[in-house]
Amino acid sequence: MADATPPPPPPVEVSPPPPPPTNAGSPTDFLKGVVGKRVVVRLTSGVDYRGVLSCLDGYMNIALEQTEEYVNGTVTNRYGDAFIRGNNVLYISAAEPL
Amino acid sequence: MDPSSGIQEPFDLIRLSLSERVFVKLRGDRELTGILHAYDGHMNLILSDVEETIMIVEQVEGAPEGQSTVNIAKRKMNMLFVRGDGVILVSPPSRT
């Protein structure tokens, strides 16, 4: 009956802390930055809308001005104003320097 | 804010189109024009004096890529409820 002390636990690997969260460059900041700018909105169907982003909301519903609709790279329609329902949006791309 | 238009949120565009003839692009290659009477947050719409345009693309068998015929069907309806989830785009066509 030896008073066998259990071996000390191996040292715990300390992983480096995750980088601190930054607010600069968040998706919301991007969207705020492109309001009033020329953008390309691509829908999940592959159709592109190029125009000036008037505004957008939390559903990603979008109001565009001077809108051109592109299907397969050719203009198929023009709208003075257009409301795009947010569920159809794949991405919003800035079409001019921010 | 953009001084050219008093639009704070996208739905303002729809609100300003009430009682106007609007163009609506729907899923399934369908388009509508009609007088907008009412809408809600789902983009459910009530339209009157509606013309629906249905584009039916038919790929020709054995034809080269991109060779397809588009048949267009049209029909008219006096009063129409549009379920919001079918809506892709709404535009007041008058200012194009």
pLDDT tens digits along A64-87: 999 999 999 999 999 999 999 999
Highest CATH level, class, for A27-94: mainly beta
Q: Which helix (H) or strand (E) holds B25?
A: strand B21-26
Would you state the pLDDT for residue A1?
A: 47
Q: For residue B31, give the nearest of B20, B16, B21 by alpha carbon.
A: B21
The ranges assigned to domains in chain A are 27-94
* Most confident option among A5-9, A19-23, A28-32, B56-60: A28-32
Band (pLDDT 50/70/90 cuts) for residue B2 is: very low
Which residues of A fall within a CB distance of 8 Å from B85? 87
Task: Spell out a b/e string for A9-23, using b for 16 or more CB atoms within 10 Å of the CB, else e.
Answer: eeeeeeeeeeeeeee
- Note the ipTM here: 0.85
pLDDT tens digits along B10-47: 999 999 999 999 999 999 999 999 999 999 999 999 99
Residues of B near A (Cβ–Cβ under 8 Å) read 2, 4-5, 7-14, 23, 43, 84-85, 87-96
Smallest CA–CA distance, residue A30 to chain B, in Å, is 16
Would you state the pLDDT for residue A25?
A: 85
3-state secondary structure A9-76: CCCCCCCCCCCCCCCCCCHHHHHHHHCCCEEEEEECCCCEEEEEEEEECCCCCEEEEEEEEEECCEEE
Partner residue facing A57 (CB), from B5, B9, B88: B9
CB spacing of B13 vs A88 below 8 angstroms: no
Smallest CA–CA distance, residue B70 to chain A, in Å, is 14
